[in-house]
Amino acid sequence: MFQTKNKFFKSIVPLALIFVFSCSGNHKKFELNEQILYKVVRIVDGDTYVLEDNNGTKEKIRIIGADTPETKHPKKGKEPFGPEATEFAKKYLSNKVVQLKFEKGKRDRYKRVLAHVYINDIHFNKMLIDSGYAKSSFYAPNYAFKEVFEASENQAKQSNIGIWGIDTGN
């Protein structure tokens, strides 16, 4: 009799726990899937956006490999071309549907999702660099587009566009 009860509890307790945790609260998890299209619901600045997945869950995204000048940094304040980079992102991404592609590192130290953003099959991270609104910038372990982005940055520098057209007096 004791063995029958013991077998019963061993089989029913895990099922009960799964049921309780799946039904408790309103915890939605942001879907990190390359097949899902995401809606851009807010532009924080040139390289950080808030996206919504098809479950209605919102998440802050930081693009990989491109760093735009700051607009809201507590110590740096507004940097030259920061507002322009933000406006550029708003122009191309606001309320648009995008696809994300990921590398090995999925989140940064601020818990933002790290991703490459594509709009109509155009790599937006690279587009920012091509247009002179961002520098190439890489952190381990995400280096997939390092050479491509550095070449784009060099071309923008040679063309003196965006941040590369600023006269710093040097």
Note whether 28 and 43 are within 8 A (CB): no
Residue 143 pLDDT more than 50?
yes
Higher pLDDT, 72 or 108: 108
Does residue 19 fall inside a structural domain? no
Does residue 140 fall inside a structural domain? yes
Does residue 104 fall inside a structural domain? yes
Kindly write down the DSSP assignment for every residue of 73-95, as one continuous string. Answer: BTTTBSPTTHHHHHHHHHHHHTT
Q: Phi, psi (5° rounding) for residue 56?
A: 85, 10
Question: Which of 59, 84, 112, 153 is the catalytic position?
Answer: 112
CATH number (domain holding residue 120) = 2.40.50.90
Residue 14 pLDDT more than 70?
no
Does residue 117 fall inside a structural domain? yes
DSSP state letter for 64: S
pLDDT (tens digit, 9 = 90+) per residue, 90-104?
999 999 999 999 999
Does residue 106 fall inside a structural domain? yes
Does residue 99 fall inside a structural domain? yes
Distances (CA, A) of 27 to 22, 24, 30, 100, 157: 9, 8, 10, 22, 46
Note whether 138 and 150 are within 8 A (CB): no
DSSP state letter for 71: S
Number of domains forming the structure of the chain? 1
Active-site residue 42, yes or no? no
Band (pLDDT 50/70/90 cuts) for residue 17 is very low
Question: Which of 59, 70, 84, 153 is the catalytic position?
Answer: 70
Does residue 94 fall inside a structural domain? yes
Higher pLDDT, 111 or 169: 111
Does residue 55 fall inside a structural domain? yes
- Which residue segment(s) compose the domain that 116 sits in? 37-160
DSSP state letter for 133: S
Tell me the whole-structure pTM to 2 decimals.
0.78
Active-site residue 107, yes or no? no
Question: Which of 59, 62, 84, 153 is the catalytic position?
Answer: 62
Active-site residue 109, yes or no? no
